[in-house]
Structure 1
Amino acid sequence: MKDKVAVVTGGSGVLCSVMAKHLSLQGFKIALIGRTLSKLENVANEIKETGGTVLAIAADVLDKDALLSAHQSIKSELGTCDVLINGAGGNHPDATTSMTEFDSTTNEGKGFFDLDHKAVGGVFDLNFLGTFLPSQIFGKDMIGKEGCSIINLSSMSAYSPMTKVMAYSAAKAAISNFTEWMAVHFASAGIRVNAIAPGFFLTDQNRALLTNSDGSLTDRGNTILSQTPMKRFGKPEELVGTLEWLIDDSSTFITGIVVPVDGGFNAFSGV
């Protein structure tokens, strides 16, 4: 892994920042991409403190021109991309219901018929196009090279959709399907494409949904842990073993898979 280049979108997020810092310790040169430069620079400074080589670039993964510019900067300063981690994604409140199931007896709360179609489209764009565009731009660097990988971020909701987050669940299911499609398409080019499906980790996006201000669990948080055999949330550091395995030369015959890192959530039937 020495001196290879890893590009990480959503690089300032809780999960992807840990991935980036881990890869730096393995010898990767790191390019962090995200919308807020100050947040990226905080992660970059941590990487520099451990002797790593890192470049932080503010770019929206839905802005092709910004990504093309970022690509040129990374190529010039670090070299061409060997590993792409498509970590950018998320949900939007306007694409989320407050009801877990349809109730014809009340007009309170937000149900399926109240969802804003533009917000739903925005969630699809962020998760799917926000993976497609970086793959299209940085994937070209991998043609003719050895040991290159694209790692996508799927979700538990891709296997079985979670209540309330219809758009996010459907978009992550698309990521799993897209991972398989790309794996087949690029197999002859030697580019391996796999995905990690994290279980439930506390992040900036879901913390308020899963925990109360005093740190206790919300009803949703309790439900999740009741369905997780290990009875706890994951720690970001528990993703890096799977990441390292998927991009290492020891897994050169593995492509097109989605690996759950979930404390047993996906394996549990609820009974």
Structure 2
Amino acid sequence: MSSGYLERLFGMSGQVAVVIGGTGVLGAALAKGLAQAGATVVVAGRSPEKGAARVREIAELGGRAVAAQVDVTRRESIDGLLRHVLQTQGRVDMLINGAGVNSASAYFEVKDEDWDRVIQSNLKAVHWGCQVFGRRMAEAGGGSILNVASVSSHLPLSRVFAYSASKAAVVNLTQNVARELAPMGVRVNALAPGFFPAEQNRKILDPARVEKIMAGTPMARFGEPPELVGATILLLSRAAGSFITGATYYVDGGFTAMRL
């Protein structure tokens, strides 16, 4: 099999990818992977400093990237991000909705403000991203959106009730939006990571909880952020993923396959 064939299948040269949440640990890994596949990547997040750092990291790998600010809790900010991308890059081919927050507590201690904050950032922002960028992609005749879900979309996890509810809804939203946009040439899929060393996990995982997770993970280890890149490129690529839409891909070391 020639390298030219693989380039046609998975290559992203000449395309523009926007990674909302690209300043985080997992988002940065996805942004780097897309850049190495040839895309120009817009790393979007709240922190200009983190955005600039991610752009430097991508440049050191030989990729092309720019940083942009976005506040996913405000629809007008996502509208502004699209305008900025079109003004500076002239097009948008791919979007990753990867921003998110978490809040851990016993169920009877869940506060309304924490619930609302998680749902706003993890679900409503994904809806806005799909609607704002999806409309532009439909007008342009095609594109691809990847929403970041979670293993908790499929299986209940203790102490993260709002997070799990939001991620389950992301899977359902992905299916519905995929159905709506498919006739317009826009594909919409979800990536569901297992347990990775992201900021949110570090905040809520104590040694006892880690031990339970490892007992339920056949591969018995945490994932490494670059291990999400292959599935991401498959789902976003024009050729390799051309007939994949409405799907949720779990990258979790076997966690969702585990049964007692």
Q: TM-score, normalised by structure 1?
A: 0.88
1:267 counterpart = 2:257: yes
- CA–CA separation in structure 1 for the residues paired with 2:160 and 2:108: 14
Question: Which amino acid is the alignment partner of residue 119 of structure 1?
Answer: D
Question: Which amino acid is the alignment partner of residue 47 of structure 1?
Answer: I
Residues 120, 167 of structure 1: 8 Å contact kept: yes
Measured against aligned partners, the alpha-carbon deviations of 1:99-154 in whole angstroms (never above 9, x if no partner) come to xxxxxxxxxxxx43332112111111110011111222211221154552100011
Residues 146, 190 of structure 2: 8 Å contact kept: yes
Measured against aligned partners, the alpha-carbon deviations of 1:229-248 in whole angstroms (never above 9, x if no partner) come to 00111011111111111122
Q: Superposition pairs for residues 231-270 of structure 1, below 5 Å? A: 231-248=220-237, 249-269=239-259
Deviation at 1:219, TM superposition (A): 0.4
- CA–CA separation in structure 2 for the residues paired with 1:126 and 1:188: 28
Residues 16, 87 of structure 1: 8 Å contact kept: yes
Q: Superposition pairs for residues 105-254 of structure 1, below 5 Å? A: 111-145=106-140, 148-210=143-205, 218-248=207-237, 249-254=239-244
The residue number in structure 1 matching 2:3 is none
Relative contact order (C-alpha < 8 Å, sep 6+): which is higher?
A: 2
Q: Superposition pairs for residues 22-101 of structure 1, below 5 Å? A: 22-92=33-103, 96-97=104-105
Question: Which amino acid is the alignment partner of residue 229 of structure 1?
Answer: P
Unpaired segments ≥5 residues, structure 2:
1-11
Residues 158, 173 of structure 1: 8 Å contact kept: yes
Query: Kindly, what percent of the aligned residue pairs are identical?
Result: 40
Measured against aligned partners, the alpha-carbon deviations of 1:171-193 in whole angstroms (never above 9, x if no partner) come to 10000000000110011011111
Rate the CA distance shift 1:209–1:122 in 2: closer, same or farther, 3 A: closer
- CA–CA separation in structure 2 for the residues paired with 1:228 and 1:207: 18
Q: If each structure's helix is expressed as a fraction of its own residues, which one has the higher value? A: 2
Between structure 1 and structure 2, the one with the greater Rg is 1
Question: Which amino acid is the alignment partner of residue 233 of structure 1?
Answer: F
Question: Which amino acid is the alignment partner of residue 92 of structure 2?
Answer: C
Runs (4+) of structure 1 exceeding 6 A deviation are none
* Paired positions, count: 248
- CA–CA separation in structure 1 for the residues paired with 2:197 and 2:51: 19
Deviation at 1:68, TM superposition (A): 2.0
